[in-house]
Structure 1
Amino acid sequence: MSKKAPSFMFSRYAAIVKKELIQIKKDPASLAIALILPVMLLFLLGYAVSSEVENIEMAVWDQNQTAESRELIQGFVNGQFFKHSIDALSYNEIEKLFDEGKVSLALVIPKSYSKDIVRDKASVQVIIDGSDPTIAKTALSNSKLIIQNKSIEIQMDAINQKGLGGMNQPLVEESRVLYNPNMEVMKFNIPALIGLIMQEVTLILTAFSLVREKERGTIEQLMVTPIKPSELILGKLTPYVGIGLFSFLFVLITGILWFGVPVEGSIPLLLLLSMLFLVTTLAMGILVSTLAKNQLQAMQMAFAIILPSVILSGFVFPRDPMPLVIQMLGGLIPLTYFLEMLRGIFLKGVGIEELWNQTIILSIFTILLCIATILSFKKRLE
């Protein structure tokens, strides 16, 4: 009767471990991603993820130009919540600043401000960009608090000087929230979700295209043909543009009809800019596909792009409070500019004039990614 082999032998186990270590050694790219990516994400998320909103960009239209009006402005900038960025000269200029996303709050001080304080009936106007509810709520609550404190200070000065104070509040705030008066989070999130979903779908679709050819061995058939790298890359890119556009239309219609988020701006412009972004993300996915040796590497690279995009693009957290270095890193992500386009067209109804800078930057990204993809593809077996 034969002797039964032991169910577990350490020698066999050690041999498998040794074999796997050799396989890992042969794939340093995956090992580097596994070791470096967590640390990189920790630094990015540690600095970028914050629920606090500070240094809100503020425009000031000071029609009074007195020591009293300057004291009020100083009261806004003394704290950490507001930053006096631009001086405006009209409501039209303020509206343009909001449309271009340069400021989130405007303080309007009337000509009679200093005289009205003496008569206990001064008022100032605070106009807030409500497209981002997080920033808008912070701006609204803190502006009210600052003006209330200033009003109490004026009353105390009157008591000290005259021995009595008026019964009325000497300074009041007239608040006005633009674009999203009710500060609904849904109206802010749905356009961004459309952009994020489109990036993930198109990036993952194309990230596996050439890798799949490599693993199946069909890439060898392409190598012996007279096809040029540019023809192969663009040929693989084109079908996914149609798929991505159809997917975008489906998601867009769902967002409008099901979630009730209207498009205030031009839908043809939205479709045109969305097509540009689709080409950008598809080119990014093809680039990943040319660099990755297998589908695991392609997935890891795609994940390394998607997660920072969620955090640094302004999808979840406002970009203004982030450190300058983190903001610069976010500026290297195409989704950052597409979210500005989507929210601008959805919420503010802006046109190409206000989105021209984002359009140029996104076009440059597209060209550079296409060139990098073509150059990275070598018409030979690695």
Structure 2
Amino acid sequence: MSPRRLFAIMVKELRQMRRDRITLAMIIGIPVMQLVLFGYAINFTLRDLDTAISDQAATAGSRALVMDMQNTGVINPVRDASSPQELMTMLRRGEISVGVVVPPDFERRRIDGREAVQVLVDGSDTAVQAAAVQLAQTPLDSAAYVRPKPSQISVVGFYNPERRSAINIVPGLIGIILTMTMVLFTAVAIVRERERGNMELLIATPVSSSELMIGKVLPFAGIGLIQTTLVLLLGAWLFDVPVRGSLLDVYAATILLILANLSLGLMISTKAQSQFQAMQMTFFVFLPSILLSGFMFPFSGMPKIIQYLAEVLPLTHFLRLIRGVMLRGASIFELWPEVLALVAFITLMMTTAILRFTKRLD
């Protein structure tokens, strides 16, 4: 073995690596991304949960109680409600995570030692339910009134009262599986045609760019629906995961995510020069999606700037859709902001991919 030849090979590999911008970006980007995400973005302590208040007592004591709850930093009152029924509607639509009900006879209940306050929680997110329980048990000292005892503040968790993790995880797994497979499959689609020499045949045909791109994604859409059906069946059989909403709405939300991921994959395929590069670029999409979308870690615990970044990811909006339909029984029309966000993402990515694609070998 010649040290000189060995050194020459090492230099050659380093120079080739330097010319490969995607690999160089992974060498630097992966440790930086993971450090920032796990050190800065991931936080298990929930703060500023969107909350609606139904203060039917409207006394100085009830207002002081609500103010003390807000001072804990756990809840952030964003809406007022006239009745508990209105709070339930907001919970079902995903507009709030917590609802606080102060009955008209609050003062008498407090003095008699009976249940004086109800905290209604969206239990489809087990982390939110745990934070609400902690809120009810936190001492809230106020000089303005005698605070009800913790036993007088009841926490009622809806949609997952047993706090079973499978009910929260299985609907999200649909999004994770579709994001991982759909983006990866389509990311290598155009690149594979170029590497195998099939692009020469496509150039000689009258097929337009739009026809080629759309024709590439439609078969994968069918595969995505098969994967969704498999997860739904296994989730119901093995873990007793309910589908409280319309099954048609479940598939409508799934189709939106499939199209979003396929259009993103096509966008990546127009940028990558090889299948390996396409897989590398897919990793940069998949890692933030699984960490920032709210699947693994509480969305409300992330800093605001990270939440704004997560709003760009289609998986974030899909998780709100699928959990709202499957666990809370909401219709897809009640969750229209998430639908609109996914449609906008699909339109932007597909249009950009078609404009970037040209039927040329170079």
- Bucket of the pairwise TM-score, normalised by the shorter protein: over 0.9
* Superposition TM-score, scaled by structure 2 size: 0.93
Deviation for aligned residue 1:136: 0.1
Report the residue type matching 2:229 in the other structure: L
CA contact (8 A) 2:41 2:306 kept: yes
**How far off is 1:200 after superposition?**
0.7
Match of 1:61 in 2: 54
Correspondence 1:114-133 to 2 at 5 A? 114-121=107-114, 123-133=116-126
- Work out the CA distance in 2 between the residues paired with 1:367 and 1:33: 28
The aligned residue for residue 369 of structure 1 is 349
Query: Partner residue of 2:69?
Result: 76
Give the Cα–Cα distance (whole angstroms) in 2 for the partners of residues 52 and 226 of structure 1: 57
- The answer to whether the Cα contact below 8 Å between 1:154 and 1:170 also exists between their aligned partners in 2 is no
Give the drift of 1:42. Answer: 2.3
- Paired letter, 1:138: A
1:96 aligns with: 89
- Provide the C-alpha distance between the structure 1 equivalents of 2:291 and 2:215, rounded to a whole number of angstroms: 32
Q: Give the 3-state SS of the residue equivalent to 1:61 in structure 2.
A: strand
Corresponding residue for 1:215?
195
Aligned-residue offset at 1:117: 3.9
Query: Structure 1 residues 28, 154: CA separation in 2 closer, same or farther (over 3 Å shift)?
Result: closer
- Work out which of the residue numbers 146, 163, 181 in structure 2 matches 1:154: 146
Q: 1:169 to 1:188 in 2, by over 3 A?
A: closer
CA-based RMSD: 2.2
Distance 1:123 1:235 in 2: 61
Using the TM superposition, give the Cα deviation of residue 150 of structure 1 relative to its aligned residue in structure 2, in angstroms: 7.2
Letter aligned with residue 358 of structure 1: E
Letter in 1 for 2:3: F
Report the Cα offset of residue 21 of structure 1: 2.8
- The within-5 A match list for 1:163-182 is 172-182=152-162
Aligned to 1:51: 44
2:219 matched to which residue of 1? 239
Secondary structure class of the residue paired with 1:249: helix
Q: What is the SS of the residue equivalent to 1:283? A: helix
For 1:154, the aligned partner's letter is V
Equivalent-residue separation in structure 1 for 2:85 and 2:278 (angstroms): 49
Q: Hey, what's the Cα distance between the residues in 2 that align with 1:150 and 1:171?
A: 18
Tell me which amino acid in the other structure corresponds to 1:83: N
Seq. identity, %:
37
Q: Which runs of 5+ in 2 are unaligned?
A: none
AA aligned to 1:236 is K
Q: Residue in 2 aligned with 1:324?
A: 304
Per the normalisation by structure 1, the TM-score is: 0.88
1:190 equivalenced with 2:164 (yes/no): no
* One-letter amino acid of the structure 2 residue matched with residue 314 of structure 1: G
* Distance of aligned partners of 1:228 and 1:303 in 2 relative to their CA distance in 1, 3 Å threshold: same
SS of alignment partner, residue 96 of structure 2? coil
Q: State the Cα distance separating 1:252 from its structure 2 match.
A: 1.8
Gap change, CA 1:224 and 1:25, over 3 Å in 2: farther
Distance 1:236 1:118, change over 3 A: closer
